[in-house]
Structure 1
């Protein structure tokens, strides 16, 4: 076998496994890899978004993330720390972008991670990437929800 035929065979096997995973519904685990992140946040879907986020009286931080996203994984410890700091005054949620195309379109999520802070059903802050985390804290402080020392 020549190098070219080996390369084509490997490529064909990759395509075949990808197609089979789509057809048979095989997927990577949908659970966050970080158990602390899973415990500190509530999973939100298109079905419960209005109840959990928009109708909530407290500020709500929504993390639009993807299981495949390494930057999302880097952001998780910072979100866990914020969730602990604001546990009495804010709600922290996560939306898996692979399962919520309607929410992605509605809130114009163009990259992951995207962090959105809602207060009384309105967007107070929206930003993307690791650099959005300090602005989330500022948005929470601006809604007068800072935990008393």
Structure 2
């Protein structure tokens, strides 16, 4: 199983949802991310990262609000958004 770093450094785009259990808007992202995964299949990976359980990554990527979505490819950030995103917004990147 790949580590977080292993996933984001690969050729396959990775959508990372930085969230918190106590965050109401974060719960709204569940169905959106499920739909994204259904539409992209194996062409992208969708990961959820709890900022309270992984504070290192929230500091590393300067997560100041949740939910924050970041799409990585080859270790680079190719798109970032804080707040609730739509399926279409995510799929455009």
TM-score by length of 2: 0.90
Would the alpha carbon gap of residues 133 and 105 (structure 1) be closer, same or farther in structure 2, given more than 3 Å must change?
farther
Larger Rg: 1
Unaligned runs of 5+ in 1: 1-43, 140-149
Per-residue deviation, 1:60? 0.4
Task: Kindly indicate which of the two structures has a greater share of residues assigned to strand.
Answer: 2
Going from structure 1 to structure 2, the CA distance change for 1:112 and 1:69 (only over 3 Å counts) comes to same
Distance 1:132 1:78 in 2: 6
What is the deviation of 1:135?
2.7
Q: CA RMSD in A?
A: 1.6
Aligned residues of 1:65 and 1:94 also touching (Cα < 8 A): yes
Q: After TM superposition, give the deviation of residue 73 of structure 1 in Å.
A: 0.5
Structure with bigger RCO (C-alpha 8 Å, 6+ apart): 2
Residue aligning to 1:51: 6
Structure with the larger helix share: 1
After the TM superposition, list the runs of 4 or more consecutive aligned residues in structure 1 that deviate by more than 6 angstroms.
none
Distance in structure 2 (CA, Å) of the matches to 1:129 and 1:88: 25
Q: Which runs of 5+ in 2 are unaligned?
A: none
